[in-house]
């Protein structure tokens, strides 16, 4: 695997057809995704505008095409990112203030940073290194072209922290999510298999 530099943020699917079209036009026009690709992807997630040319001009569709071509090599799995690897949300240290700007007498008390489950889709040969990269991204140790918001999603304090729910690493081609449904649907789209479907051999025969 090469170094990680481009990580595309992914959000919840657009809530309406109008929102979907707006995403395609404002910020999404340079991604070079075909209409049919937009339709498939927006049923699973939205694509954040990253504000840099490196994410545009076919970078995303080329990455997805390469992953789809390697569909038989892809592996879906869950991993636990332990609290010690998660950079604490900066909101924990921010002083809450009144509307007039003075510090509030009663400051919010936040629960401690906790272990989080992350859902991954990558090439099998890359799995161990992908686990390590995800921990580094959670610790904010990797310098990226655009902010990932990954540590904040792992330690959400505000409503905004939950806006980003998935990520596509574009340099090597792997997905990771904090949302299980997005992971399952993405895996099914690229491999044809639901990662949580039980093998037929484990299903009890009907008498």
pLDDT at 161 over 90: no
pLDDT of residue 25: 59
Spatial separation of the C-alpha atoms in residues 85 and 83, rounded to whole Å: 5
192: left (phi > 0), else alpha (psi -120 to 50), else beta? left
pLDDT of residue 24: 64
What pLDDT digit, counting tens, does each position of 60-115 carry?
Answer: 999 999 999 999 999 999 999 999 999 999 888 777 777 888 877 787 788 899 99
Count the residues in the chain: 207
Q: What are phi and psi of 2, to 5 degrees?
A: -90, 175
3-class SS letters over 75-102? EEEEEEECHHHCCCCHHHHCCCECCCCC
What pLDDT digit, counting tens, does each position of 133-142 carry?
Answer: 999 999 999 9
Residue 5, number of CB atoms within 10 A of its CB: 14
Which burial class, exposed, middle or buried, applies to 183 when counting CB atoms under 10 A from its CB (0-12, 13-18, 19+)? buried
- What proportion of the chain, given as a percentage, has pLDDT over 90? 64
Q: 15-19, 144-148, 196-200 — which is least confidently predicted?
A: 196-200
Domain ranges across the chain: 7-88+113-195
pTM for this entry: 0.86
pLDDT of residue 15: 74
Q: What is the CA radius of gyration of the chain?
A: 19
pLDDT of residue 75: 97
Instruction: Note whether 168 and 62 are within 8 A (CB).
Output: no
pLDDT at 202 over 70: no
Average model confidence (pLDDT) across the chain: 88
3-class SS letters over 50-64? CCCHHHCCCHHHHHH
Spatial separation of the C-alpha atoms in residues 148 and 156, rounded to whole Å: 14
């Amino acid at each position: 695997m090469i170094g990680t530099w481009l990580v595309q943020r992914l959000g919840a699917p657009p809530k309406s057809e109008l929102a979907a079209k707006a995403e395609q036009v404002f910020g999404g026009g340079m991604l070079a995704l075909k209409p049919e690709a937009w339709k498939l992807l927006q049923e699973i997630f939205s694509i954040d505008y990253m504000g840099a040319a490196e994410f545009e001009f076919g970078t995303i569709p080329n990455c997805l095409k390469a992953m789809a071509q390697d569909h038989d090599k892809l592996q879906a799995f869950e991993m636990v990112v332990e609290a010690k690897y998660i950079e604490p949300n900066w909101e924990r240290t921010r002083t809450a203030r009144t509307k007039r700007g003075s510090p509030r007498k009663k400051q919010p008390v936040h629960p401690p940073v906790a272990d989080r489950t992350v859902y991954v889709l990558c090439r099998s040969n890359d799995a161990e290194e992908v686990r390590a990269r995800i921990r580094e991204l959670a610790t904010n140790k990797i310098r990226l072209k655009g902010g990932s918001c990954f540590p904040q999603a792992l330690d959400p304090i505000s409503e905004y922290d939950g806006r980003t729910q998935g990520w596509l690493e574009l340099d090597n081609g792997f997905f990771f999510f904090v949302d299980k449904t997005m992971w399952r649907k993405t895996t099914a789209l690229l491999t044809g298999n639901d990662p949580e479907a039980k093998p037929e051999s484990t299903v009890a025969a009907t008498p």
